[in-house]
Amino acid sequence: MNELASVNFLKAHNARHVWHPMGDPKVSEADPPLIVSRGEGVYVHDVDGKRYLDCVAGLWNVNVGHGRPEIKQAIVEQLDRIAYYSTFQGTSNPPSIALSHLLTEMLQPEDMTKVFFSSGGSDANETAFKIARQYWKLEGKADRFKIISLKYGYHGVHFGGMSATGTPPHRRAYEPLVPGFLHIDAPYLYRNPWTNEPLELGRICAAELERTIQFQGPDTVAAFIAEPVQGAGGVIVPPDNFWPLVRDVCDRYGVLLIADEVVTGFGRTGNLFGSRGWGVKPDIMCLAKGINSGYIPLGATVVNARVESAWKRDHALAAIMHGYTYSGHPLACAAALAAQKIVVEEDLPGNAARVGAYFRQCLDELARRHELIGDVRGKGLMLGLEIVKERASKEPFAPNDPIGKTIMQAAFEKGAIIRWAAGKIILSPPLIFTRAHVDEAVAVLDHALARAKESWT
């Protein structure tokens, strides 16, 4: 093994030179990360050769699993032709055209007609905000620039997405943020001041959206954005009536509805798209992650015929003055075409629904044995456990409480990667997970929660 790849070199230089996303550098210097170097299917290996069950699919994205030969072949075949060519006006490349065709076909029920490519979820959302604001300028209503979103929502790290994000820790260090972004309460059944009744909560939160639009003035509101199931905020599944009511409110006031499907797109919730699971057709959808299972960075923003129509007329501001060098990257798009073939051929949305229901059942059973679990929730293979000090009072642990680290470390020791985020254990495995993998994950969680209980009491 050459020095650059030696385990000691990697560990020493990670601590010395790498700043990790979403963490205090001092913490990763003192407490080195798992350095993952290999993966196949639902398992990955670290540089010390230890194998882990990947219960988070990388970062909710490796939906088809690691090391799929079909995707490698698609990338290599494209590399043999050309690695990169731009899609800025005047040039294009075949994989980006083929993928935009495929996406609009997949999204025919939503009447999606145009695709704008980027390099990830933050880009996809930023693109959506710019399209929404430009749409209203082209419609002759330049005052409609405000964007409403949900508390606990996560929309990425660029200034627009961060401004829409509803989790203060992602925002505070970078304020002041972009003007014109507003937040309303999320339909968070486990923690809300109003009700334990899901449909009542759905009505209350949709009514808050309506009142906010009325208060701001409908002629100033461009769009409402939300995740079909809130992910990073803690896997918050809205009541059944929430999204349909939101669509009605948006329609009443002409507000564009943006679905941030970065996590929920391509099968994770048990439907091909998360919003389809609520029977709702957004005007704009933001896609990334599962689009090509993370083999090469890719994001996409798709818009429906209504949005597209604004660009049909002549207008001084009609040029889309937005785009990334890597918009429509041929390798990323070729990987996506191969990944989507797998999603369809292996019915990954169906598998997510079936295996997700079994996972949910096992987690409910686990909660009967572990008092630390305050709430079990999820949809498909997007699941969360809210960890609390006491079930009756729902008292949460402080954000910096060591219990999170104890749980993660115990899981690592037992050979599984799970995620801890602000008092919740997040589970978002590859969509090729089987019931046997669920059993393996639940055994690890059982051990980790027992360890957490010992450490805390």
Ligand X SMILES: Cc1ncc(COP(=O)(O)O)c(C=O)c1O
Give the three-state DSSP class for 374: strand
Looking up tokens 């360890």 gives 451
For residues 260 and 440, which CB has a smaller minimum distance to ligand X in the complex?
260
In whole angstroms, how close is the CB of 125 to ligand X at the nearest point? 6
Distance CA 198, CA 381 (A): 21
In whole angstroms, how close is the CB of 265 to ligand X at the nearest point? 9
Among positive and negative, which fits the CA dihedral 76, 79, 81, 86? Answer: positive
**Burial (CB count <10 Å: 0-12, 13-18, 19+), residue 393:** exposed
For residues 54 and 260, which CB has a smaller minimum distance to ligand X in the complex?
260
Query: Which residue type sits at 159?
Result: F
In whole angstroms, how close is the CB of 261 to ligand X at the nearest point? 8
In whole angstroms, how close is the CB of 263 to ligand X at the nearest point? 4
Query: Which residue type sits at 131?
Result: I
For residues 270 and 440, which CB has a smaller minimum distance to ligand X in the complex?
270
Question: Which residues have CB under 8 Å from 382's CB, separation 6+?
Answer: 60, 229, 231, 235, 263, 264, 268, 269, 356, 427, 428
What residues make contact with ligand X under the rule CB under 6 A? 120-122, 125, 154-156, 227, 231-232, 260, 262-263, 288
For residues 59 and 320, which CB has a smaller minimum distance to ligand X in the complex?
59
In whole angstroms, how close is the CB of 288 to ligand X at the nearest point? 5
End-to-end alpha carbon distance in the chain:
45
Instruction: Spell out where 189-298 has E strands.
Output: 221-226, 256-260, 284-287
For residues 43 and 60, which CB has a smaller minimum distance to ligand X in the complex?
60
Structure tokens given for 4: 């650059």
For residues 247 and 268, which CB has a smaller minimum distance to ligand X in the complex?
268
Question: Which residues have CB under 8 Å from 53's CB, separation 6+?
Answer: 42, 43, 415, 416, 417, 429, 437, 440, 441, 444
In whole angstroms, how close is the CB of 296 to ligand X at the nearest point? 12
C-beta neighbour count of 13 within 10 angstroms = 11
Distances (CA, A) of 210 to 204, 205, 218, 241: 10, 9, 9, 15
In whole angstroms, how close is the CB of 282 to ligand X at the nearest point? 13
For residues 181 and 373, which CB has a smaller minimum distance to ligand X in the complex?
181
Distance CA 395, CA 402 (A): 16
For residues 209 and 232, which CB has a smaller minimum distance to ligand X in the complex?
232
In whole angstroms, how close is the CB of 108 to ligand X at the nearest point? 23
In whole angstroms, how close is the CB of 289 to ligand X at the nearest point? 6
For residues 99 and 388, which CB has a smaller minimum distance to ligand X in the complex?
99
In whole angstroms, how close is the CB of 260 to ligand X at the nearest point? 5
Q: Which residue is nearest to ligand X (CB)?
A: 121
Give the pairing of strands 51-54 and 416-417: parallel
Distance CA 282, CA 126 (A): 17
Q: What angle do CA 71, 74, 77 make, to 5 degrees?
A: 145
Question: Which residues have CB under 8 Å from 407's CB, separation 6+?
Answer: 387, 418, 420, 425, 448, 449, 451, 452
For residues 123 and 210, which CB has a smaller minimum distance to ligand X in the complex?
123
